[in-house]
Amino acid sequence: AQSVTQLDSQVPVFEEAPVELRCNYSSSVSVYLFWYVQYPNQGLQLLLKYLSGSTLVKGINGFEAEFNKSQTSFHLRKPSVHISDTAEYFCAVSGRGSQGNLIFGKGTKLSVKP
Amino acid sequence: DAGVTQSPTHLIKTRGQHVTLRCSPISGHKSVSWYQQVLGQGPQFIFQYYEKEERGRGNFPDRFSARQFPNYSSELNVNALLLGDSALYLCASSPGQGIGTDTQYFGPGTRLTVL
């Protein structure tokens, strides 16, 4: 079984500052890792995913994440945030060989202030 | 191309009633998954269907059921509604069986309120 822990429920940051949203996972098997973003009153949009290969993954809207197997982490980063990045961010895991259902963390609300 | 569509967008029901939620996947996608997102929480997996067969089920009571039609659209049914069923219900589609590498694309969700 897999589980995901998002360490911060809320992250306030000023516009143009860097941000890191933390995600740790637990699994007895190898995993695929994902970050999704949810804007108010909308569904989830895929930001990026780690399947295999390079541990640094680049996604849409300038976001990137690094897979660290020894620390079982998959933190999301952006060097300079915009007001439009204000949203809720979800880290998710899927076990390799599983039926593909995603296990989500509880989410981190990113608030970008002017 | 149209994304995943869900209907209705909002729904209000009373305790004990039955509800049916509908989902149309992206054209060419054969897998549909359903998730429940309670306010303040991440989505929780309910069901996955691939080629009209149930391929996965989360930890939900038998009051929850689903099916997939020959055109790959899907319905989620919930019987004997409880207050705790109030949530955003998300549908996601993927091209194949959704095993890991298959990206799941989410619809906008149906907001269910049980009074």
**Structure confidence at residue B101 as a pLDDT band (50, 70, 90):** low
Q: Rounded to a whole number, what is the distance in Å from the CA of B52 to chain A's nearest CA?
A: 15
Residues of chain B positioned with their CB less than 8 A from the CB of A32 = 100-101
Please name every residue paired with A43 in a beta bridge, in sequence order, or none if there are none: none
Q: What is the DSSP string of B92-104?
A: EEESSS--SSS--
Beta bridge partners of B22: B7, B75
Q: Do B103 and A49 touch (CB under 8 A)?
A: yes
Cβ separation A102–B108 shorter than 8 A: no
Residue from B29, B21, B71 nearest B46 by CA: B21
Q: What are the CA-CA distances from residue B96 to residues A31, A37, A101, B60, B104 (Å)?
A: 18, 23, 13, 24, 10
How far is residue B91 from each of residues A100, B16, B40, measured CA to CA in Å? 14, 23, 18
In the prediction, which pLDDT does A42 show?
Answer: 83
DSSP code for A17: -
Tens of pLDDT, residues B44-98: 999 999 999 998 899 999 999 999 999 999 999 999 999 999 999 999 999 887 6
Q: Which of 54-73 (A) contact B at CB < 8 A?
A: none
Q: Tens of pLDDT along A15-61?
A: 999 999 999 999 888 889 999 999 987 889 999 999 888 889 999 99
Nearest to A100 among B97, B106, B107 (CB): B97
Q: What is the mean pLDDT of chain A?
A: 92
B110 vs chain A: nearest CA distance in angstroms? 9
Report the residue of chain B nearest A42, measured CA to CA. Answer: B108
% of chain B with per-residue pLDDT over 90: 83
